[in-house]
Every structure is written in C-alpha cells, then in structure tokens.
Amino acid sequence: MTPRPISQWLAAKLGLRQLILDGELGAGDRLSELRLAARLGVSRTPLRLALGQLEHEGLLEALPGGGFAIRSFSRDQVADAIDLRGVLEGSAARLAAERVRGPRDLGELVSCVAQLDRIVDPDRAEVEDFEFYVELNERFHTELVALSRSDALHAAYEHALALPFASPSAFVLLQAELPASHHTMLDAQRQHHHLLDAIESGDGDRAEQVARDHARLALANLDSALGSADALEKLPGGSLIRLEQAASRARR
C-alpha cells in the first residue's frame, strides 16, 4: 500500500497484527510494551499508537489496570462477526444493484467471476491454486463493497474485517484440506454468479439476499473447523478462538 515512507507506527501496527494472527502471542496474554517494542524494532511511542488502533479494531482489549491483552473470541462471537459481514455485504450488494450505472461499472466484478470460473472448473476434481483463489475472492468482495459507493459502508466493512476470521477468504485455506472442499467452492462460485446477475438486473432485494446466503457458507465452515483443534490452526487468527466447553479454565 504505502511502500517507501513506511512510518514506524504503521510498521508496528502491521507487525503486531501479524504476530497476533500467526498466534505467536497467545490469546489473553498481557502485552509488555517494552518487550514488544524491542521485538518489532520500534520505539514505545509509535507502538502505543498501534496498540490504540488495534484495540479500536477489536483485536486487543484494554485492561483495567492499564495495558492491553490479546482478545479471545467465543464461537458465537466469531459467528456474529461473520453474520455481520454478511449483513454488510448484503447491504453493499443492494446498493450496488441500485447504483450501478452501466455495464462498464461491473467490469472488475465480471472479470473476477470469469477468472474464478476457470479456477474452480467443475471438470477438475481439485482446485489447484488456492492462493490465487483467495486473491480473486477477496478482489470480488472488495469490489462489491466499492460498487456500493458508500463510504460509511466501506468503513464499516473494513472495520468488520479487522477480525481476521470474518474475512471472506478465511476458510479457503481450511477447505484445501476438507473433503467437501471442491463442492463448497462450486456453491460459492454459483452464488457469485447469482450475485452478479442480480446486480446486473438491478434487483437489490435479491442481491442482498444472495450476499447474505453467501456469508452463511462461512458459518457452516466455521463449525466444521471448530471440530478439530488443528483445523483452527489453518484459520487466520484461529488461535484467538477459544473452544468453550473443552477448556473452561479461567483466563486472567
């Protein structure tokens, strides 16, 4: 994004987020500014700025005695986050359907779907390039929100995506190992087509409905992921999700 003049606080924010997502900092841990600063190679001042941002984004929680801890999430909280994404994408789809002026606006979306078609080719038993799939999928969803032309919605969407497991592609890497993988992707791709079609024909209601359904796929995947603990490892930020009944140890 901003390659050259990368400010210290941005480096801290990105670096810290990466550390959290990679699970190198366990959920619930209290963060030591000094240690973190050393680890990230930044000073405490920009680090504290980054901490404030990540708290606002919901990845950290401020502790009463001062300082921050890494938030952890229950299964229901994750599900709600995914549901929220569905709502926001639904609203974006509706607005897109209402506001798209001509076919030119949909170029990017059409291109994404076409490329996705090639990747999830039903004739092949397996999807090969998951990385490319992820990229295209994210581009599709990003473009969808962009088409809504609503700054407020865009901001809310970005905010919702701060929770990594709410991302549209959160479960793709997981699917790479799931048996029903290809089937799920075909479903998803069908929905992409339906969504595109609804937007093209200006049918806001249907577009919203399809987009919400689309997010429900992720919900289904969530519970299958929660089954095995090492499936969580595959999820971005999976280490932040706590398995309820399994470990009822009190945190803090």
Least distance in angstroms from the C-beta of 210 to DNA? 42
Report the DSSP beta bridge partners of residue 60: 70
Q: Which residue has the tokens 């938030």?
A: 71
Q: Which of the listed partners (a copy of itself, DNA, none) does 163 bind, with a CB threshold of 5 to 8 Å by partner kind?
A: a copy of itself
45 near DNA (CB under 7 A)? yes
- 249: exposed, middle or buried (Cβ count in 10 Å: 0-12, 13-18, 19+): exposed
84 near a copy of itself (CB under 8 A)? yes
Report the DSSP beta bridge partners of residue 70: 60
Kindly indicate which of the ranges 62-70, 98-106, 121-129, 143-151 contains the residues binding DNA, using the contact rule CB under 7 A. Answer: 62-70
Helix intervals (H) in 100-203: 107-119, 130-147, 151-161, 172-175, 181-200
87 near a copy of itself (CB under 8 A)? yes
Q: List all residues 6 or more positions away from 238 whose beta carbon is below 8 Å from its beta carbon.
A: 23, 165, 225, 231, 232
Q: Which of the listed partners (a copy of itself, DNA, none) does 72 bind, with a CB threshold of 5 to 8 Å by partner kind?
A: none
Q: Which is nearer to a copy of itself, 120 or 218 (CB)?
A: 218
CA angle at 146 for the pair 202 and 107, rounded to the nearest 5°: 65
31 near DNA (CB under 7 A)? yes
Q: Which of 241, 196, 177, 187 is nearest to 215 (CA)?
A: 187
Contact predicate 219/147, CB 8 Å: no
- Helix, strand, coil percentages for the chain (3-state, nearest 5): 65, 5, 30
Q: Which is nearer to a copy of itself, 116 or 156 (CB)?
A: 156
Q: Which of the listed partners (a copy of itself, DNA, none) does 160 bind, with a CB threshold of 5 to 8 Å by partner kind?
A: a copy of itself
155 near a copy of itself (CB under 8 A)? yes
Contact predicate 73/62, CB 8 Å: no
Site string for DNA, 64-103 (x = CB under 7 A): -xxx------------------------------------
Q: Which one among 23, 27, 39, 43 touches DNA, defined by CB under 7 A?
A: 43
83 near a copy of itself (CB under 8 A)? yes
56 near a copy of itself (CB under 8 A)? yes
Q: Which residue has the tokens 């801890």?
A: 69
55 near DNA (CB under 7 A)? no
Q: Which one among 22, 26, 62, 233 touches DNA, defined by CB under 7 A?
A: 62
Q: Which residue has the tokens 């599709």?
A: 140
52 near a copy of itself (CB under 8 A)? yes
The residues that touch a copy of itself, with contacts defined as CB under 8 A, are 9, 45, 48-49, 52-53, 56-58, 77, 80-81, 83-84, 87-88, 91, 150-153, 155-156, 159-160, 163, 166
